[in-house]
Structure formats: structure tokens, C-alpha cells
Amino acid sequence: MARTKPQQPEDLRFIEMFSKRLNEEYGKHRGSDAEFARKLDVSRAALKKYLDGKAMPGVRTVALAYANLNINVSYGKFDAKLLRSRAKSNRQSVEAQLLLPFAIESLKQENIDIALVDKKPNRIELNVSIRFANRTSA
């Protein structure tokens, strides 16, 4: 899915470089547009926007471009001081502790997987997976 129009200069640079690399790989492609779009899991319309440099690809599309087409475009080849804040206010990040309604004894850190997943602008999903040892009675 094509993302909304970028607002930041670094977004525009990324789109330009992604489009350039995507066009290089597209030029080598011998199949249909639909087959090429499937490598990125996007529609043909979204593929055209990426090829034309008219849309910012999402993280999933960038990851699939890397995995399936060996397209590796850096977002950060510039001075980080040039990044402007997207925040509308000067609010500080809020750190919170999640209290569970139960206790787990002997829980080992290697049995816990935590992932933050970008869902929408200003929305992140927290996924927590806990593996428990199978206990059998003798």
C-alpha cells in the first residue's frame, strides 16, 4: 500500500533512492508487472507510484524489496541534525509499567519475546510472547 505524501526532506531523498533502485531491478525483470508487484506484495498501482517516485513505501514493502530484490536503501546517509521533529508538541515520552494480574515464578528473560509493530502513524502495537516449560507429572 502506498503511503501518504511525505513531508520531510529525508523522506523525499529516500523515495528518490528507492525509486532509482527499484527501477534498476524492474529493468532486469522479464515477467509481468503483476509478478514484479507480487515480490513486494503490492498492487500494480502502488508499484507504479514507487517506480515513479510518487509514494513513500511502508516498512513491509522496503523489507520485501530487500529480501526479494536485494534493494538496500539507507534512510540515514545525512546529518541527523537535519531531521525535524514530527511532533506537534514538546511532550516527553511516557514510560509505563504493565502490571499483570498474576505472578510468574522462575520466568527467564530468554523465554520472553517483545516486539513493537508500527501500525499507523502515531500508533504502535506491543506484542509480548512468553514461552512456558511443559511440566509433566511423574
Q: Where are the domains of the chain?
A: 9-78
Would you state the pLDDT for residue 101?
54
- 117 membership: H or E segment, kind and range: strand 112-120
pTM to 2 decimal places: 0.53
Would you state the pLDDT for residue 97?
55
Report the chain's C-alpha Rg in angstroms.
21
> Which residue type is seen at 92?
Q
Total Cβ atoms within 10 A of residue 20: 13
Of 14, 3, 10, the residue nearest 22 (C-alpha): 14
pLDDT, mean of each 10-residue run, the chain (138 residues): 61 89 94 94 95 91 90 66 49 53 61 79 77 59
At 47, list the grid cell: 508499484
Which numeric CATH code is attached to 9-78? 1.10.260.40
